[in-house]
A and B are shown apart, each in its own frame.
Chain A
Amino acid sequence: MAIVHKEVGDALLAERIAVQARTINMGSVTQGSSKHKILTAKLRGSAYCVIEKPLGRGPGQ
């Protein structure tokens, strides 16, 4: 079974994360390192996230 983290401060770090929630509020667009842009969002109501493609791996899953 996949490990589910439910505590405040638990974080996910991955190349690709699938999410679902009742509402998803898109936040601001900020300039990240190099020319990458960073988007922010807030998931509210039964939010669920799962890593689909880990960092530094191949195609994933």
Chain B
Amino acid sequence: MAKNQSDKETKGLTEVSNMSNVYSEDLSSFEPESFDFVEFSSQGIPIRVLEAKSKVFTNIVTLQANIYNVAIFGTGSYNAVVGGYTGTSSPSQTIGYSSTMPYLENYLAERKLLEKRLEAVDMLEQRVGALEKRVASLEAVSPEEKVIVLRELSKEEAKKEILELFSKQDRLYYSDIAEQLSLDLKLVVDICSELQAAGEIHALGDSS
């Protein structure tokens, strides 16, 4: 039992060391001139110091419970806990609570900020997903870009190649010839007009 008490004190002091302001507030009630009248425990520690440690330790435990409730249940539960805590607290507990209030407020503000950022991240993820779908649909519809390097042939060479192409295919559009032979469209039209005038090819609409 005594060992458990000692462990609690050790734990309390360890945690108190991280909150020096709370610790110093509780010890501030000690006056040097009245120190001679302080009762000592069996371990040689002043009783008032042990009481102060115990109160600080209680404050820390309550504070941890509050933080846990805030983390789990949010602001509403936090307010409920604070309300109950204030109603039942002793003056020393109130001192500990008030000194830790800025920490809690800071924690809540950071938590709200984090929630807002998470909401923004969710919204951005949704928007990126929608944009990706839109880009995919546009890529599916848009024609693939094909680069054709036009060949620079003499008119006679081009005419020869066009006649060869007509020997393989009966019906050709100007654009088909230009694409298959990588020739300039205007050159193809000019050559076809010459071939048509020479009677070597004819437009299907003119056959009648």
Interface residues of A (CB under 8 A from B): 1-2, 16, 18-20, 48, 50, 52-54, 57-61
CB of B175 within 8 A of chain A? Answer: yes
B interface vs A, CB < 8 Å? 171-175, 178, 184-186, 189-190, 193-194, 197, 203-205
Chain A contacts for B193, CB-based, 8 A? 1-2
For A59, the chain B residues whose CB sits under 8 A away are 171, 204
Task: Assess the B185–A61 pair: CB atoms within 8 A.
Answer: no
Question: Secondary structure of the A side of the interface?
Answer: strand
In the bound complex, what is the Cα–Cα distance between A58 and B184 (angstroms)?
A: 26
Q: How far is the CA of A18 from the CA of B174 in the complex (A)?
A: 7
Cα(A60)–Cα(B170), bound, Å: 12
Question: B205 — which chain A residues lie within 8 A by C-beta?
Answer: 54, 57-58, 60-61
Q: How far is the CA of A45 from the CA of B48 in the complex (A)?
A: 96
Residues of chain A within 8 A (CB-CB) of B186 are 20, 48, 50
Q: Which residues of A contact B178 (CB under 8 A)?
A: 18, 20
Q: Which are the 5 A-B pairs with shortest beta-carbon distances?
A: A18-B175, A52-B173, A57-B205, A20-B185, A2-B193
Chain B at the A interface: mostly helix, strand, loop or mixed? Answer: helix
Chain A residues whose CB sits within 8 angstroms of the CB of B184 once the complex forms: 20
A50, B204: Cβ atoms closer than 8 Å: no
How far apart are the CA atoms of A21 and B189 in the complex, in Å?
Answer: 15
Chain B positions within 8 Å of A58 at CB level = 204-205
B185's partner among A1, A50, A54, A60 (CB-CB below 8 A) is A50
Q: Is the CB of B173 within 8 A of A53?
A: yes
Complex contact A61–B190 (CB within 8 A):
no
Min CB–CB distance A15 → chain B (angstroms): 11
Residues in B with CB closer than 8 Å to A53 are: 173
CB distance from B166 to the nearest CB of A (A): 11
| A-chain residues with CB within 8 Å of residue B204 when the two chains form the complex | 58-61
* Cross-chain contact A61 with B194 (CB below 8 angstroms): no
A to B CB contacts below 8 Å, 12 in the list: A1-B193, A2-B193, A20-B178, A20-B185, A50-B174, A52-B174, A54-B205, A58-B205, A60-B204, A61-B172, A61-B174, A61-B205
User: How near does chain B come to A14, taking the closest CB pair, in angstroms?
Assistant: 11
